[in-house]
Amino acid sequence: MRQRQARPRLLQAMFDAIRIPDLRRRILFTVGMLVIFRFIAHVPLPGVDPAALQELFQRNALLGMLDLFSGGAMRYFSVVAMGVYPYITASIVMQLMVPIIPRLQALSQEGEAGRNKINQYTHWLTVPMAGVAAYGQLILLQREGAVFSAPGLPMAATILAMIAGTMFLVWLGELITEYGIGNGISIIIFGGIVAALPTMIGQGFLAAGNRLGLAVYAFIAIATMAVIVVFTEAHRRIPVQYARSVFRGGRMYRQAGSTHIPLRVNTAGMIPLIFGMSLVIFPGMIASYFAAPAGADPNFANTIQNLFNPNSMFYWGIYFVLVVAFTFFYTTVIFQQQDLPGVLQRQGGFIPGIRPGKHTADYLNQVIRRITWGGALFLAVVAIVPFLAREVTNIQVIQLSSMGLLIMVGVILDTMKQIEAQLVMRRYEGFIK
């Protein structure tokens, strides 16, 4: 027992999980689904100019960052070039619409059946969102001369293939959730990010002669991941006591107990980064359609395009502010949907020293606002870490992604927690000698 405790807890959980046939089967199934995903990511769509596509991604930092999330699928313009991000967007939209639309709000309170219905609506919404994203991606690459696709039926066929690729990945993710380990959609994103890292790091070592800069860059990445772990796990514990009467055997019994509500410092997760980036890249993307070509006199669209260039300080300053704002917005939406004061009152719970009802709601809102400042500033700083790392080290080849780091750390922590929960549920101490 002491030897087992001497090993790192996470590694020990992996060793123990592999020894149990059921968990080993789940882990192998998850790995198999990721292998299928990586195979599909290298199946290109017709009409691609590989040389022009590679050159475009090398000179466009934004496309290079988006390609990191698709695991190189966008760089090859494969059938899964969009990844599962249309589904993520649809999920966020549905989550924001639940408190607004009474029908969805009623469904959310119907338990498992209601959640399944909302999930079905999310799948339906994913299809048009994937179609719009596929059309925009196709038009962008056509303008750059990297993809050739005639209008009409060939373009429609390409868009339908990209929609099918996204829905196929969503299906793989749901299979992982049901038969594998962890959240399938998150693991698909994680697999894409990790698959692109070796190539990116190799290019950094080959192209950069600044060894000291590479060392500092690696230190910044490791330090950022350590901070992400701390803030991902950080929470404020609100003590709760329960006192209720239970009628049993013809007599009335009074039960009492105590527990706590863990209010996370980073309740919003990575959603504010997605919202912030979507807004900050929109003006530059629209301006690019109206900007004067190279060599001509610049117009107002050129000025906007330069301001919202990923290499400008203005771009990252706006991104910082947007992340802080969206963190408060999204945390408020999620906290209101949870309705913790109502749940406590229905279950006979109360916070010591705080009256139930409105006083409890005011107290919890005050606490969540205070701790959200820590989460908002943390996310905002993590969001601009790529810019700071590039300015400090002068390393341009490696693209450190704040969203990528958040996703990787979050998925690893969540998956390991699920493995440990599975081990506890099976009482693995009785199986492993």
Where are the domains positioned within the chain?
Answer: 1-208+405-433, 209-396
What's the pLDDT score for residue 248? 59
Q: Sign of the CA dihedral 129, 135, 141, 147? A: positive
**pLDDT the model gives residue 321:** 92
Q: 44: which strand partners?
A: 78
Q: Same fold for the domain at 1-208+405-433 and the one at 209-396?
A: yes
Predicted structure pTM score: 0.76
Instruction: Give residue 68's pLDDT.
Output: 62
**Quick one: what percent of the chain has pLDDT higher than 90?**
9
Spans of the chain below 50 pLDDT:
1-7, 428-433
SS3 180: coil
pLDDT computed for residue 90 by the predictor: 87
CA 61 from centre of chain: 20
Distance CA 423, CA 419 (A): 6
Question: How is residue 62 written in tokens?
Answer: 């934004």
Residue 235, strand partner residues? 264
Percent helix, strand, coil in the chain (nearest 5)?
A: 70, 10, 20
> Which CATH entry fits the domain spanning 209-396: 3.30.930.10, 1.10.3370.10, 2.60.120.430, 3.60.15.10?
1.10.3370.10
**26 contact partners, CB below 8 Å, separation of at least 6:** 179, 180, 181, 422
pLDDT digits (tens, 9 = 90+) for 60-111: 666 666 666 665 667 777 888 888 888 888 888 888 888 788 888 888 777 7
**Which CATH architecture fits 1-208+405-433?**
Orthogonal Bundle (1.10)
pLDDT at 6: 36
pLDDT of 48: 75
